[in-house]
Amino acid sequence: MTNEYEHSHQSFEEFYGWDPAKSFIKLPQELLESLYEILSADIDFEKFSLRIRELATRYRVRKRHPPASLTREERDKLSALGNSLEKSLKLYFALPKTAAETLDSNLNLLEVSEHVLNIDFRNANSRPALESHSFSERLETLKQIVRNAQDSKPVAKGRPSTNGALTELILELGAMFEMEAREDVGKLCYYDGSTGEYTGRFFFFVDMLLTESELSSPYSNVALGKTIQRAFSQENKS
């Protein structure tokens, strides 16, 4: 859900010079340039690179910390919490503009107060890592966290599976690909019967990111192709 209120004030990252890129894992410049070329879309390269690094970082975290299994009762409670957050969002957007801006200002003021305590005033380069947020953004983030937890599947006994992390990465890359390239990503990964292998721009995109970034162990062509198609098939059913 997009915040319908526009804020004219300068963002905290602009004011303090905070660089979000420092929070994400580094990827080879050559890899980012090759991925950018495959995408072939009208998007700023720096913005694209930052997004890819963010998604790669999230994938690595998900691999290391797979979600725990939930009982039906626990899922029902999470569902109720998600519905409550959705209602809160609707109430927020029903507020008069001044009231909404007051909430936003108080939220950011609270964050400033917390981070100012971490500034070393003897060091001119000491700057808190601050972002400007709206109250609705925080509610939307909380709602998404609850939805993600609610969707977590039971984990099989033994070694944790990382397929969930890969599926999430594929879906996030696919959403970015469709938004920027304006193409149906489902048609950009397909099985070529003449070669017995998967091909297509999106397949090459995912394969290159995983292989050349060393984010995961190598996948065979068929295994990765099936995983990509399965991810979108499950997404379309949900």
Identify the top-confidence range among 105-109, 112-116, 177-181, 197-201: 197-201
pLDDT band, residue 22 (cuts 50/70/90): low
Residue 39 confidence class, pLDDT cut points 50, 70, 90: very high
Domain residue spans of the chain:
28-66+162-238, 67-154
Helical spans, DSSP H, in the chain = 12-16, 29-39, 45-64, 72-93, 97-116, 135-150, 163-181, 201-213, 221-237
Between the alpha carbon of residue 228 and those of residues 183, 190, 193, 204, the distances in Å are 16, 9, 17, 11
The CA-atom distances, in angstroms, between 94 and each of 68, 132, 140, 188 are 36, 22, 15, 41
**Average pLDDT of the segment spanning 64-93:** 78
What average pLDDT score do residues 151-168 get?
A: 59
- pTM for the predicted model, two decimal places: 0.58
